[in-house]
Amino acid sequence: MNIEKTYAAYLDQQDELAHFRDEFYLPENTLYLDGNSLGLLSKQAEQAVEDMMASWKTFAIDGWAKGKEPWYYLSEKLGTMTAPLIGAGTEEVIVTGSATTNLHQLTASFYQPEGRKTKILADSLNFPSDIYALKSQLQLKGYDPNEHFIQVESKDDNLLDTKDIVNAMTDDVALIVLPGVLYRSGQVLDMKTLTDEAHKRGIPIGFDLCHSIGAVPHRLSDWDVDFAFWCTYKHLNAGPGSVGGLYVNQKHFGREPGLAGWFSSSKEKQFDMEHTLTQAQNAGAFQIGTPHLLSAAPLLGSLEIFTQAGIDNIRQKSLQLTQYLIKLLETELSDYGFTIANPKETELRGGHVYIEHPDAARICKALKADGVVPDFRKPNGIRLAPVALYNTFTEVWETVQILKTIMEEKRYKHYENERGIIA
């Protein structure tokens, strides 16, 4: 592959999504490759927040029913805008809560132990918050996680084997929860096959889409996935602490929510104030409390950009960016002890590149000092996420040149090989 900067510039000239870069506030003198942890602010998201504040200012309590975006229906509106990103029906998606609170809700709703079927199946590479939530749900039902929680192990601490997961679907498993994309290595799991195999055994299955939504297209309804959940501050660029979302397959409409609340109600009945819940006959039933409107507002703007760009176009450019980054790393940094630990096959690779090095923590510090924002993952991983909506091929080329200089001049040795408080 041509490694000259002029080739990167050529790729940028061919980029049909290049104009979306102007929609974002880019940190000055910075190559920002951490959008898989926190996406950048867009002008449309900023405007949506200002519009929400203006609605509050103008209408006060009447904002629930008046204005450009009545608050009472905002979660449903955002669910409709999100649905194309995951291949779902509009009534199967609701924007609410956070990733972890939504996992608690969905586990409380779908984990129904009976007889020998008492165990929850997960994996050893998932984000810790999911593991904490699943274990606590077991304890709430009176089960010891040491006996009733199964985690599929990885052979190399980076990737999962579909066959190993299927083999763990034993007849004592009552629920399966897995990531759509592994947060460290970026491996895309075969959700269709896993769902088919789970359903052959009568096991409901759900997926954490935190590291895939907005970067990888899904077809959850076609795959017959039972449920899914996600955050919105990574690839969806909705801001720190922005409201999460969940999906429930329409075949489960009418299922009683495990954690019911006021916003679990049917919209038509909610203000009747009855003490018997008449739940919504859609994914809205799995809401709990009042929507966090000011934290949901940025999604109105950020999701509009996804509507304009198209998730398939985003995926195509994302794969081109990560493939280009991988080739540059192989060509330019082969002598410096790096291991490319993410899948190289396009269909298995998410939206970032994951490399390992014994001095990863101090290399990340050196990169940041030289204007590159990476992401360290213990014990020795560096995540680099060129995001399709605002990163360029030239930025990828520049990042690799900076990293090469850091290694050649051993600049990383100026730093301790320990992560900061926030990695």
Binding residues: 100, 127-130, 208, 211, 233, 262, 290
Annotation marks residue 111 as catalytic: no
By C-alpha distance, which of 99, 95, 93, 153 is closest to 121? Answer: 153
Choose, from 24, 110, 227, 233, the residue flagged as catalytic. Answer: 233
Annotation marks residue 233 as catalytic: yes
**Contact in structure between 102 and 244 (CB atoms under 8 Å):** yes
Q: Give the whole-angstrom CA distance, residue 147 versus residue 129.
A: 20
Cα distances (Å, whole numbers) of residue 295 to 48, 74, 241:
11, 12, 7
**What are 109's two structure tokens?**
């709703």
Choose, from 21, 119, 135, 234, the residue flagged as catalytic. Answer: 234
Annotation marks residue 127 as catalytic: yes
Compute how many other C-beta atoms are within 10 angstroms of the C-beta atom of residue 16. 11
Residue list, annotated binding site for pyridoxal 5'-phosphate: 100, 127-130, 208, 211, 233, 262, 290
Annotation marks residue 234 as catalytic: yes
Choose, from 383, 390, 393, 411, the residue flagged as catalytic. Answer: 383
Cis peptide before 379 (omega within 30 of 0): yes
Q: Give the whole-angstrom CA distance, residue 254 versus residue 251.
A: 9
Active site positions, annotated: 127, 208, 233-234, 383
